[in-house]
Structure 1
Amino acid sequence: MAMSNAGNDYPLSEVPPEARKGLASLAMVLLGFTFFTATMFAGGKLGVAFGFADLLLVIALGNLLLGLYAAALGHIACRSGLNSVLMGRFAFGERGSKLCDLILGFTQIGWYAWGTATAAVVLGKYFGLEQGAVLALMAVFGLGFCATAYIGYRGLEILSWIAVPAMALLLILSMSVTTAKAGGLAGLLAIQPSSSLDLSTAITLVFGTFVSGATQATNWTRFARSTRVAVLASLIGFFIGNGLMVLIGAYGAIVYQQPDVVEVLMLQGFATAALAMLLLNIWSTQDNTIYNFAVAGCNLVRTDRRKTVTLAGALIGTALAVLGMYDLLVPYLVLLGTVIPPIGGVIVADFWLRHRGRYPLLAEARLPHYNWPGLAAYGLGTIAAFGSPWVAPLVGIGVAALAYGVFNGLTRGRTTAPASL
């Protein structure tokens, strides 16, 4: 049973010391996750709305906030050995945590459908394929992308060590060509924005694009060898990695009026490299995405058969892609980015306020069916995020955390007693 659990990456228990990873391994996996084509479109909207100097400030600030949020959850994940859905059992209760499973799991399966369809459609357009062939490619990609996630953390790491350096070199080359076309740094600074965005909306765009991924990055930071590793890897993945994706999208929009890096690379004469990068880019995010789904699914149905759930999720995502539902899902998934961050706010508050920075062992914890302070705080945080004119994800996190502190203080209840991990 221990060997089986290890092969399935401990979906329902703490990660033991012998399975912990170092900074290079963890940072590479997180970079593979955050190197995501869709993030570049957020950068494209920023690129036409700000001067270059202001643009750099917005990107740095938004991604620093995102990195700090991921690092706060990563710190807890390392100390406890648990991921977000397992932490959700403490924050929301044994049954109440299923809310996290449904929200996080559905979000990831939708993105998996979108990524699978996108890879097939782009290749179909490039090679002039018929619709039937494009649908067949969706089926191939849908099952192929999950192969590394099926293996587990080790599979994600191997792909990331291949994909991340290759993509980074190509993107650096592309940015140098783009900078030369713009007339160097002086040319970039001289370009005037063609539209406008206020600072709050811009930060919301940067922070909100990948905040759902940051909430689930605990699936990997729980493997960190130390809290220092977890925090640094989170900052590398989300501050640097996600920031680079936003910057590249902005570069394309400023100079080529095109935030899609694949289109930019084709305009620069790197067509073959562009297609290879597209597949590596999507694959290195897709396997992380379906891994996230599997972890949430294991907690939802209380099974440690992560590989089976991974395959089932890939089949569902592939079916959604083939049926064309990805066209309808993307706006809805962006909407879900508002309801996911309050989950992280409640988890952080619960860990530090109620558990004093140390969970008991999950197998020994006496958990209620529902932790009402956590559920009420989540609801209040979500309502505040939806109604906020400011940075909605940040408002959701902050209100949920503060509300939990108040509700927990009023109930003064402890459903679990601290124990050493």
Structure 2
Amino acid sequence: MAEGSDKLQQQITEDQKRFEFAFDPVPADRRQGWFSLFLVLAGYAIAVSNFVTGAAIGYRMTFFDAMVALVVGDAFLIFVAVSTGIISFESGWSTSFLSRMVFGKKGSTIFSLLLVASSINWIGINGNTFARIVTANFPGIPIPEALLGAAIIMVWSISAMRGYKGLEIVSWIGVPIALILAIVCFVLVGVQNGGYGVILAYTPNPADEMPVVTAVSSIVGSWVFGCLITPDVCRFAKNHTSVVAAGTGAFLLGLFCLQFVGVVVAQVSGMGDFSVATAAIGLGLLVLICTLVCLCTTQDNNIYGAGLAAQNILDATRLKGKVAHRWIALAVTAASALFAACGALQWLLPIIQFLSVLLVPIPAMILAERYFVRHSKFTLEVNPIAMICWLAGGVIGQVCLSTGFSVSAIVAYVFTALLYTGLSLGFDGKISWKRDHESLTETQASDLSLDD
């Protein structure tokens, strides 16, 4: 009897691994140490998009204003990443399943669709960036830019298809290499065109100048999606300290440091396009290698997160538990390759500013639900309060962004958290919610509720 029970448990564990724990909390025996967590998160945050965002901002601002924007924007992003990471550690759930505590089961599929679309966007943009860097440094290369971008994206799927272990292996190799190359790049920039002294005297063209609040919104928009899917990794943590230490260190390293290099490159070269700027000052080949490594450690995480979000969508269909993680990862990769071939990079700044408004309200509601409302919607079909607050937070953020009032992302976050808390405390007990009793067992649902 015991032997049969052991075999059944072993089969259940194998099934969970096949779907990368998309439908279940990560069990204790699969949790990882803080250094493994740090490596995977650092590999994710060490992204070429941070070079690109830093250059785009540095070209349009003085050095001092650019530093203020980086500090404010990155501090907010680290707060979002660590706070949601702690909640995922406590529950063991992925980002998509975690959103059920706010949106309900069917409501969370809308959020999951947004996650998948955002992943495809970022993977496509980064593939397009890589292709641009190659053609800028090797203008005579016979391979079309669209094909180059699509090809590198397909390579990224290899590690993502292997789940957390694949992310860890790539990070062990890529993080040290990327950091060394980034440091070398920064040092070499100092001997170009007057060195670092140029940046202190740099003055942007008045026609191109960007306000600090807009720059912060761009910084938040460039990585709020990355912070939002941090729970997909942090659910493997063993304790709170690991989440705080690994998350803070990894994002400081990957976000601020790489954005800083981007600012310096733009101001020394006088160009806002990171790919063209590095080629113009003779660092094209070095940056090409660094970019390739950064992309490999980052985009597999995006593919991984999109795969988990897709499983949450499939959970409401007959395909639940029938499509393995590796095949979903491959499908996400194919869609991203197609987007890259269409020239995804041309929509970079408009997209990241839009995402800063659309995505920021979601972690605000997750935090408010977990610590202030404490009435998890995990067994509901749809939570209309969450939908109302999401829309209201997005509208407030967009108004702030279009009018230049304060930092749109931070205003939207605080507003949404307060609105969701107030409406939930006022109406949760008065509305007859329609529940989906088949979505989770009562025990599983209580894992995300603090009102027991």
Structure 1 gaps, min length 5: 360-364
| Deviation for aligned residue 1:86 | 0.8
In structure 1, what is the equivalent of residue 263 of structure 2?
Answer: 250
Post-superposition CA distance 1:53-82 (Å, at most 9, x none): 443333222211211111111111111111
**Equivalenced residues, count:** 412
Of 78, 85, 90 in structure 1, the residue corresponding to residue 101 of structure 2 is 90
| Maintained 8 Å contact 1:249/1:259 | no
1:282 aligns with 2:295: yes
Q: Which moved more, 1:2-11 or 1:246-255?
A: 2-11
In structure 1, what is the equivalent of residue 329 of structure 2?
Answer: 310
How do residues 18-417 of structure 1 correspond to structure 2 at under 5 angstroms? Answer: 18-125=29-136, 126=138, 128-130=140-142, 133-181=144-192, 188-195=199-206, 196-267=209-280, 269-302=282-315, 303-304=320-321, 305-322=324-341, 324=342, 326=344, 330=348, 333-334=351-352, 335-355=354-374, 367-388=379-400, 389-413=405-429
Give the whole-Å Cα distance in 1 for the aligned partners of 2:378 and 2:90.
20
Pairwise CA RMSD of aligned residues?
Answer: 2.7
| Maintained 8 Å contact 1:36/1:281 | yes
Give the whole-Å Cα distance in 1 for the aligned partners of 2:139 and 2:24.
46
Give the whole-Å Cα distance in 1 for the aligned partners of 2:309 and 2:192.
46
Give the whole-Å Cα distance in 1 for the aligned partners of 2:151 and 2:53.
29
Q: Residues 263, 193 of structure 1: CA spacing in aligned structure 2 closer, same or farther, 3 A cutoff?
A: closer
Name the aligned partner's letter for residue 352 of structure 1: Y
Q: Residues 299, 420 of structure 1: CA spacing in aligned structure 2 closer, same or farther, 3 A cutoff?
A: closer
TM superposition outliers: structure 1 runs of 4+ over 6 Å:
414-418
Q: Residues 403, 287 of structure 1: CA spacing in aligned structure 2 closer, same or farther, 3 A cutoff?
A: same
Give the whole-Å Cα distance in 2 for the aligned partners of 1:2 and 1:76.
23
Q: Which moved more, 1:259-268 or 1:383-392?
A: 259-268
SS at match of 1:97: helix
Q: Residues 188, 140 of structure 1: CA spacing in aligned structure 2 closer, same or farther, 3 A cutoff?
A: closer
| Deviation for aligned residue 1:367 | 0.7
Give the whole-Å Cα distance in 1 for the aligned partners of 2:347 and 2:205.
30
Q: Residues 315, 158 of structure 1: CA spacing in aligned structure 2 closer, same or farther, 3 A cutoff?
A: same
| Maintained 8 Å contact 1:66/1:239 | no
| Deviation for aligned residue 1:180 | 3.8
| Maintained 8 Å contact 2:56/2:273 | no
| Maintained 8 Å contact 2:91/2:447 | no
Name the aligned partner's letter for residue 35 of structure 2: A
| Maintained 8 Å contact 2:157/2:329 | yes
Give the whole-Å Cα distance in 1 for the aligned partners of 2:304 and 2:244.
21
SS at match of 1:258: coil
Give the whole-Å Cα distance in 2 for the aligned partners of 1:43 and 1:136.
27
| Maintained 8 Å contact 2:63/2:199 | yes
Q: Which moved more, 1:331-340 or 1:260-269?
A: 260-269
| Deviation for aligned residue 1:348 | 0.8
Q: Which moved more, 1:63-72 or 1:175-184?
A: 175-184
Using structure 2 for the length normalisation, give the TM-score. 0.83
Give the whole-Å Cα distance in 2 for the aligned partners of 1:55 and 1:320.
31
SS at match of 2:107: coil
Q: Which moved more, 1:177-186 or 1:194-203?
A: 177-186
Name the aligned partner's letter for residue 399 of structure 1: F
